[in-house]
Amino acid sequence: MKKIIFVIVSVLLILSLFFNFVFFYILRYDWDWEKDKLQDKTRILYYLTNDVRLDVINDKQLENMSASNGILNKVDSLKTASNDTLTIIQEELVAMSGGYLFNGNYVNPKAKTYVKRYFYEENFYRPYAYKEVDSLLSNYIANYERLTNLKSELNAIPVMLSGYKRNSVSDIFYDLTLSESMIAISLIQTKIEIDFNNYMHNMK
């Protein structure tokens, strides 16, 4: 009888230690920053979203700045033209990947083959589109910095990618699905919006 009681008590103690350890681990574990175990593409998307907030500038402020500074109009045109081209690239990528369902979702949201073909092979829309993406963003950065004397948010992308042994901005799309590629393009557009926002605030 004593042996049975001893065994039961021992098992309960072991279980208690186990659950205490698990509870302590859950409390101390930094779930948000466990990036080392994520895939490269997931970490890339994570870093792309690690932006400052867009500060609000109202229409009156924008009107006043537009009237007093012609450079602002050039920066605005640069932003609009760059983001419009990126939107067209999104539309082409969706079309090449099968388009949309009747409910607005992508036909092939997890498609990788179409994404690879669009960016890195000859195709009906843009043969080797990665070259156009790199050229577009390189020209954008050069013109933005020349006009504003400010550093573009997009400068951080090649630096971040170098850790994954990738050399150009278009390497973001390596091994991404259609859905992930659409998110990545939208995040690049957001960085361009932040550039514009930074310039307007720098003028005040």
Domains in the chain: boundaries: 1-31, 35-203
pLDDT of res. 141: 93
User: Left (φ > 0), alpha (ψ -120 to 50) or beta: where does 149 sit?
Assistant: left
Q: Mention every residue, 6+ apart, whose C-beta is less than 8 A from residue 195.
A: 79, 144, 148, 150, 152, 153, 154
In angstroms, rounded to a whole number, what is the distance separating the alpha carbons of residues 46 and 52? 13
Cβ contacts of residue 54 below 8 Å, gap of 6+?
A: 193, 194, 197
Task: For residue 72, give both structure tokens.
Answer: 């602002």
pLDDT in single tens digits along all 204 residues of the chain: 545 554 454 555 565 555 444 444 444 444 443 444 445 555 555 555 555 545 555 555 556 565 556 788 888 899 999 999 999 999 999 998 888 888 878 888 888 888 888 998 888 888 888 889 999 999 999 999 999 999 998 887 766 665 556 677 778 888 888 988 888 898 899 889 889 888 877 775
Query: What is the model's pLDDT at position 21?
Result: 46
- In this structure, are residues 126 and 188 in contact, taking their beta carbons and an 8 Å threshold? no
